[in-house]
Amino acid sequence: MSRLTNVRVVPTVEESIFDRSKRSLVTYTRNITLLSTCKIHERCVYKPGFKNGIPETIVERGGLVSTSFGKLNSVIERILMANFKKNMRKTAVVYMEKLTKKFGEPALVNHRTNEPYLMRQKISRRNFSTQD
């Protein structure tokens, strides 16, 4: 466990696949260092949708965490997954702030919230395949 306490930056690889027929973008992100200790994989699917006749982008996020700490695996994996979910929520909020700054407030949105209002998120801890 002490191997992870001094880690500040973990290099990652991101791969993106655009499917024209489904009009979706799938991104896969994974760490490329510390693989003997911890593996974190993220999959995001961006696709178009409509809510009350208003176009929106639907983002489905999934993560897979696996560690190799013996009997502590399940505890550490739960902690890492909780951090993953917290960071994904922060990412979505900042993402919406940047889009709003660049393109302005979305039309027909009259409510204030801390959660992103054009993205519905499904954050789950599930094993995902590379095939849709």
Any domain includes 72: yes
Between CA 18 and CA 27 the distance in angstroms is 9
pTM, entire model: 0.63
Give me the mean pLDDT over the 118-131 stretch.
43
Q: Classify residue 131: in a domain, yes or no.
A: no
Give the pLDDT mean for 39-52: 87
Residue 64's nearest CA partner among 86, 33, 42, 36 is: 42
Q: How far apart are CA 24 and CA 18, in angstroms?
A: 6
Please state the domain count of the chain.
Answer: 1
What pLDDT is recorded for position 3? 58
Q: What is the pLDDT of residues 10-39, one digit of tens each?
A: 788 999 999 999 999 999 999 888 778 888
According to DSSP, the β-strands at 24-31 and 38-51 are: antiparallel
Band (103; pLDDT cuts 50, 70, 90): confident
Is residue 39 one of the residues assigned to a domain? yes
In a domain? residue 6: yes
Cα 100–105–106 angle (5° rounding)?
105
Residue 1 has pLDDT above 60, yes or no: no
Residue 115: the pLDDT is 43
16 found inside a domain: yes
- For 20, the domain range is 2-104+116-125
**Residue 44 in domain:** yes
Handedness of CA 129, 81, 17, 97 (dihedral sign): positive
> Which carries the bigger pLDDT value, residue 75 or residue 119?
75
Q: Is residue 80 one of the residues assigned to a domain?
A: yes
**Does 53 fall in a domain?**
yes
